[in-house]
Structure formats: C-alpha cells, structure tokens
Amino acid sequence: MTSRSKVACSLREFRLARKLSQLELAKRAGISRQAFCAIEAGSAVPGTDVALRLAQALGVRVETLFRLEDAPRVLEATLAATSDVPAHETSRVVLAEIDGRWVAHPIDPRGHDSLARAADGLASAPGGKKSRSVQVEPLGDLESARQQLVVMGCAPALGLLAARLGGGPAGVRLSWIQGPSTAALEALGRGEVHVAGIHLLDEASGQYNGPVARRHFPDRGMLLINLASWEQGIVVAPGNPLKIRSATDLLRPRVRFVAREPGAGAHKLLERVLRGERSGRATPKGQGPAARGHLEVAEAIALGAADAGIAIRGAAIAYGLDFVPLAEERFDLVIPRESATDPRVERLVDTLGSRAFRRELDSVGGYLTSASGHQFAIPDAVGGSRGLPRRSG
C-alpha cells in the first residue's frame, strides 16, 4: 500500500450501514485491523486485490468505495423516452440501473412532491434535445440508487407502498414515476423501469391487465402482482350541482371537463362507457392541459377549475368531492418473470400482502385489498407460467 491523498474512501459509511466492526471487516478482507484502519482513515490506499476483497465483503463495487477526489463523479445514462432535458439546463433525476445500464427519469418540477423527494443526480444533455444520452452528476450514494426499484403507474397508493417498502432494516427503496398505464407498459418494454402499474380492461375477454400485458410481451413470461382494486368513475363538486349522473352528461356544452392523457386507464374507461351509452361522440373536450393523475383531476375540481373528471373514488374522498361510480377495476403491477426471485421483488410482495399495508390502505377509503399481493402468471409463447412462491406477510 502507498500513501496518497487524492483517493476518497467510503469504507466507514458502508461498514456502519452493514453493522460491522473494523476487526470483522478486516478479517473478511484478509488484512490486519491496523491496515484496515489506515485505509478507512484515508492515510493509505489499498492494492487492487485488497480493494476487490473489501468491495466483495460489503457487497458493493470497488468504484463505490474508492474514487479520486479531484475527479468529477459523472456517469452516462439513457434518458427515459417520455422525458426531455434541455441542453442548456440541468434536471433533477431519479436513476434506475436496469440490465447493466443507467436510466435517468427527470423529476417533474410541477409535481406536488417535487421538493419532497431527493434526486439521485443532476442530468444534462450535451448532445442537445435529440440525444437520449445524458451525463449525470450523482448527488448521493450510487449503491443505494443501484439497489432501488423504479415503478411507473398512476395509483396514488404507490406512494404508500414506497413508504412501507422502505421501512425497517430490510427495507427496499422504491421510486414512483407517475405515468398512465399504457406508458408504463411501454417503459417496461424499453427497459426504463423495473415495474409497470396498470389498470386496463381487455374488452374481448372481459379480463383486466393480463391479456393486455401479454400483447405487449408476447414472447416473454410476465407476472401480475395485485396492488388493490378500486372504483373508478366521475368526480364532481360536493352536492353534484350540475346533476351529472352518467358519462353522457359530460358532453353537455357547459360542463368543464378535466381530461386525462391518451393511454390512461381513465381515458379508456370513458371511451368504453360512452360507446355503451351510444353517445355518438368519443370523449368530451377537456379544459386546459390533461391531468397527470387521479389526484390532479380531483384537485382541479376542488379548486373550481373544472366541473368533472374521471378518477378513482379514493381521489374524490381525499378532496371531499362527490363521486359517480362507473366501474370496478383491478390495479396490478407487471414484472418480468425472471425478476421473481429478486430479493427486492420478494420484499415488495411481502409488503403488499402484509396486514399493515392492507389495513392502512383500507383506512384511506376507496380501495379493496382482499387480493393485495396475489400473483397471476402470464405464460410466454412456450407456455411457461412459473411464478413467485407466496410468502406470508
């Protein structure tokens, strides 16, 4: 070992996180306690073999433990296809490591929780707007970002799931990217997220989610894991002053309707119900930009910016609004079957099926949790349907 002053060491941080003493970690790495203390204090730099053994003992990569102090920490990442980072700006991003590469999801500054979540890094696009490659300056521990699960979906309950999943010593970090069901499936197909959350009816079979996911992944075995079921319908002001009783009533000229983006389960539900009511028109014209989620729909109505919109009963309850039910739907999480034995996914399933999660979600109102954590296998083209063993929660 040689003495150098320009190598930053994160040994102490990871040792304490693993609840290891200096002697215990030194023994695992096959070095003396004195040598370990010198490395941890930054007064000595380990050779390649010792650095590899230390990283292996802690379950991290060598570059996570040691780096040059004067070298900028910048990594290359692929920008999620639904986002753009202007070349002249930086954007706060959530990072996901998928299939050995980094994917950057910009945090929407317009979101209610924008400043309530810490970014994994700051991204810039030196190649301009058309480039999907961005440079990211990490703002925290890359190993933590590497271990997190990233899920895209529109269910507000995903925020509660993230909080529950991260609790305790065996917690798993879950980052929720808000997006409609179809966009979530497409992001999963592009390898931009680990999990897609969907509520999409296949009209031919009358089944939710499974047939739609199978069409998106015809040659790949997938699993559905139930988050909850809910009622979706028309959210209106308290007392329903415009007497809106059906989807057709939303077509009245004076009804200010807040729309959802195409591809959202809410948008597809409205189209389907209007066809059934023989309205002669696909959907009502939305007022202003499309809402990006159930809570945004409810907020617009609560603020008086709109009269009605399609969202779940839970969103109406949260804002003290009235609700006209249209359908009961199942919201499932879609994952590749090969992820079934990932410890993070096993922890997710345990959390979904736990009494604590189900009881808390029941108390919110508007959710049905009797099937939360249940799995539904979607066979691939060769008929494989092996799922994840069910564990008690």
Inter-helix orientation angle 157-165/343-353, to 10°: 120
* Residues near 130 by beta carbon (within 8 Å), at least 6 away in sequence: none
Mean pLDDT of 315-331: 96
Instruction: For residue 252, give the H/E element and its range.
Output: none
DSSP state of 250: G
Instruction: In whole angstroms, give the CA distance from residue 43 to residue 5.
Output: 7
Q: Taken in order 336, 340, 344, 350, is the CA torsion positive or negative?
A: positive
Residue with tokens 């929780």: 113
Instruction: In whole angstroms, give the CA distance from residue 324 to residue 232.
Output: 8
Instruction: In whole angstroms, give the CA distance from residue 56 to residue 305.
Output: 56
Between the alpha carbon of residue 133 and those of residues 85, 91, 379, 385, the distances in Å are 10, 13, 34, 36
Residue 386 has pLDDT above 50, yes or no: no
What pLDDT is attached to residue 380? 58
DSSP for 80-141, please give it. Answer: PTT----TTS-EEEEEEEETTEEEEEEPPTTSTTGGGS--SEEEE-TT-TT--EEEEEE-S-
Residue 282 has pLDDT above 80, yes or no: no
Residue with tokens 């590749």: 336
Q: How confident is the model at residue 164 (pLDDT cuts 50, 70, 90)?
A: very high
Within 10 angstroms of residue 144's Cβ, the number of other Cβ atoms is: 13
Mean pLDDT of the chain: 86
Residues forming a β-bridge with 319: none
Residue with tokens 């066979």: 379
What pLDDT is attached to residue 387? 44
Total residue length of the chain? 393
* CA proximity to 34, closest of 83, 80, 1: 1
Q: How confident is the model at residue 390 (pLDDT cuts 50, 70, 90)?
A: very low
What pLDDT is attached to residue 389? 41
Residue with tokens 């996911």: 213
Residues forming a β-bridge with 308: 236, 257
Please check whether the domain covering 72-141 is classified as CATH 2.40.340: yes
Task: Decide which of 3.40.50.450, 3.40.605.10, 3.40.190.290, 1.10.260.40 is the CATH code for 148-393.
Answer: 3.40.190.290
What pLDDT is attached to residue 102? 93
Q: How confident is the model at residue 60 (pLDDT cuts 50, 70, 90)?
A: confident
Q: How confident is the model at residue 213 (pLDDT cuts 50, 70, 90)?
A: very high
DSSP for 326-348, please give it. Answer: EEEEEEEEEEEGGGTT-HHHHHH
* Residues near 307 by beta carbon (within 8 Å), at least 6 away in sequence: 236, 237, 242, 244, 255, 256, 257, 301
Residues forming a β-bridge with 230: 329, 367
Instruction: In whole angstroms, give the CA distance from residue 68 to residue 71.
Output: 5
Decide: pTM greater than 0.85.
no
- Domain positions in the chain are 7-68, 72-141, 148-393
Please check whether the domain covering 7-68 is classified as CATH 1.10.260.40: yes
What pLDDT is attached to residue 236? 98
